[in-house]
Amino acid sequence: MSGSWEDAFPMVSVRKLVREISDHNPLLLSSGEEGREAPKPREFRFDLSWLEDDSFIPTVGRIWARKVASTDPIDILNIKLKRFKTYFKGWGSDKY
């Protein structure tokens, strides 16, 4: 946002939301007059330092090897990636 925009609308904020399906991130425009904003969900961030942890690769293998109740390759990939994300979303913050 430009300085003149912020001067005219000091309570307005824009934040990027987590993308689910599209390759574009949706934006949430808040006027600041709604009161308290909802808490921001934690985004998943992969950290290269996880690769140095001896338990990382075996844990990924166990998560990836779990069966998926689908025959569609795209569904299988999406489910496995979602499992990975769900498990490791808090993993790095606990260890590093």
Average pLDDT, the chain: 80
Give mean pLDDT, residues 17-37: 72
- Look at residue 76 in the predicted model and tell me its pLDDT: 93
d(CA 49, CA 46): 9
Residue 15 has pLDDT above 70, yes or no: yes
> Which residues partner with 15 through β-bridges?
28
Instruction: List, in order, residues 6 or more apart from 12 with CB less than 8 Å away.
Output: 1, 5, 6, 29, 30, 31, 32
Residues 10-19: contacts with CB under 8 Å, at least 24 apart: 15/40, 18/43, 18/44
pLDDT (0 to 100) of residue 64: 94
Q: What is the pLDDT of residue 62?
A: 95
pLDDT digits 0-9 by tens, 54-83:
999 999 999 999 999 889 999 999 999 999
